[in-house]
């Protein structure tokens, strides 16, 4: 959990880290101050909500069967890979710098919620789409 006003740097200032988190919740700043790209993998089986900001050179991977909700105005400049579960964005810049692109694996889902419009971005969807429930 990253508290509001808190910050986590995915580097030591010189070298980026490869960080695996089992949950990502909170409202602080998640950044990488190094020159190279950090890899942030969220491997959750729960529903996590992160309303803070993810910024800097970070590649984001969603693993695990849970749902990761990104509600903040992110500005990370790396790619986004949804390999399992669901990634739900609730902000037009939920995918950070969308020009880097996003990939959604077969059986995984990218959900856009709240009537937001996402900028044109490369999006690769692998395999079949996940069926939507017909029940309210």
**pLDDT tens digit string along 43-92?**
999 999 999 999 999 999 999 999 999 999 999 999 999 999 999 999 99
Q: Is the pLDDT of residue 114 over 90?
A: no
Q: What is the 3-state secondary structure (H, E, C) of the chain?
A: CECCCCEEECECCCCECEEEECCCCECCEEECCCCCCEEEEEECCCEEEECCEEEECEEEEEECCCEEEECCCCEECCCEEECCCEEEECCCCCCCCHHHCEEECCCCEEEECCCCCCCCCCEEECCCCCCCCCCC
Domain layout of the chain by residue ranges? 7-120
Does 130 have pLDDT greater than 70?
no
């Amino acid at each position: 959990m990253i508290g509001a006003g808190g910050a986590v740097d995915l580097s030591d200032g010189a070298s980026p880290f490869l960080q695996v988190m089992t949950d990502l919740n909170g409202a602080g700043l998640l950044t990488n101050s190094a020159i190279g790209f950090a890899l942030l993998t969220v491997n959750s089986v729960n529903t996590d909500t992160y309303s803070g900001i993810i910024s800097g050179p970070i590649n984001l991977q969603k693993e695990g069967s849970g749902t990761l909700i990104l509600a903040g105005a992110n500005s990370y400049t790396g790619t986004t890979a949804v390999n399992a579960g669901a990634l739900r964005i609730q902000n037009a810049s939920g995918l950070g710098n969308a020009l880097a692109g996003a990939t959604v694996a077969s059986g995984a889902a990218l959900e856009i919620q709240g009537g937001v419009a996402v900028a044109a971005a490369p999006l690769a969807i692998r395999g079949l789409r996940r069926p939507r429930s017909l029940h309210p």
